[in-house]
Amino acid sequence: EAGVTQSPRYAVLQEGQAVSFWCDPISGHDTLYWYQQPRDQGPQLLVYFRDEAVIDNSQLPSDRFSAVRPKGTNSTLKIQSAKQGDTATYLCASRGRLANQDTQYFGPGTRLLVL
């Protein structure tokens, strides 16, 4: 079974530039999560979807960040105008739809550096 895939693996931007991250979850997983992980800190949830619906985006900075999952499969996270404080690794995770499938499986992440 293929794992969660993400691209790109690395991104370097100047402040004010835009960037998009792409995630393909494990096949059949209905729940998809985007996390931001600053260096030497734990992952912090930004947004999560069940199928194509946003379930919780309360931690997503809505003025510059957006996330979509239009067909309930892969997802895109976009930063409209990056700031130095956005420097972090962006992790995508997915989880299965059955009641006993609690485990979240993480992708390799995209490491973003904003200069």
Partner 1 sequence: GEQVEQLPSILRVQEGSSASINCSYEDSASNYFPWYKQEPGENPKLIIDIRSNMERKQIQELIVLLDKKAKRFSLHITDTQPGDSAMYFCAASDMATGGNNKLTFGQGTVLSVIP
Contact residues for partner 1 (CB under 8 A)? Answer: 31, 33, 40-45, 48, 55-56, 91, 95, 99, 102-109
Residue with tokens 């969660």: 4
In this complex, which beta carbon is closest to partner 1, that of residue 61 or of residue 108?
Answer: 108
Q: Smallest gap, in angstroms, from Cβ of residue 102 to partner 1? A: 5
Q: Which helix (H) or strand (E) holds 38?
A: none
Q: Smallest gap, in angstroms, from Cβ of residue 65 to partner 1? A: 17
Q: Smallest gap, in angstroms, from Cβ of residue 81 to partner 1? A: 27
Compute the distance between CA of residue 92 and CA of residue 108 in angstroms, rounded to an integer: 8
In this complex, which beta carbon is closest to partner 1, that of residue 22 or of residue 105?
Answer: 105
**Cα distances (angstroms) measured from residue 60 to each of 14, 36, 79, 89, 109:** 21, 10, 10, 15, 17
Compute the distance between CA of residue 69 and CA of residue 81 in angstroms, rounded to an integer: 21
In this complex, which beta carbon is closest to partner 1, that of residue 25 or of residue 43?
Answer: 43
In this complex, which beta carbon is closest to partner 1, that of residue 18 or of residue 55?
Answer: 55
